[in-house]
Amino acid sequence: MTGLLAASALLKMFYSSLLAGVGVSAVFSAAVYGAIRSSDMRRAGRGGAAVAYAALAAAGLLLSAAAIVYGLVLVAHKS
């Protein structure tokens, strides 16, 4: 029974880390995409779209920073 519990914990750690890695990467990618498209839209004279993409970039950066802080808090509480 102990082996089953260890395998369950390992599986939980695997899918949690996979989800976190893909999720944080996707959020940061959205931030980069928003920043690049905002610059493109501003140069093209499309102010409304530029603001929307800038908001996407800001939200992505804030969520990325929040994920980093959350990870550091988890590490600090583990030790």
pLDDT tens-digit readout, 34-76: 999 999 999 999 999 999 999 999 999 999 999 999 989 988 9
Q: Say which residues have a Cβ less than 8 Å from residue 27's Cβ, sequence separation at least 6.
A: 60, 63, 64, 67
Residue 66 has a pLDDT of 95
Say what the pTM is: 0.80
Alpha-carbon span 60 to 77, nearest angstrom: 26
Q: In the structure, what pLDDT confidence band is assigned to residue 25 with cuts at 50, 70 and 90?
A: very high
Closest CA to 63 of 38, 18, 29: 29
